[in-house]
Amino acid sequence: MDLKLLVECFRLEQRVAVAGADFKDEIANTIPFQNFKSHSQAGLEILRKKVSDESNLGYLKS
């Protein structure tokens, strides 16, 4: 599994979530959008921790 690619996927999701927030009345307050937004934020945090842990253990090169 390439963690860097997964991080990029979640960053893309986050950018979509930020862009979607501009449409407050149309989609920003819908449950699917809120789920999408929280999923991308949580995914980024998990992957950042995983990359940090593996870097500290020497599994990943910076």
Looking at residue 51, its pLDDT comes to 77
Looking at residue 10, its pLDDT comes to 77
CA angle 12, 20, 15 (to 5 degrees): 20
pLDDT tens, position by position, 1-49: 567 777 787 788 778 777 776 766 676 677 877 777 777 778 778 878 8
Looking at residue 60, its pLDDT comes to 56
pTM confidence score: 0.51
**Residue 61 in this model has a pLDDT that exceeds 60:** no
Looking at residue 32, its pLDDT comes to 77
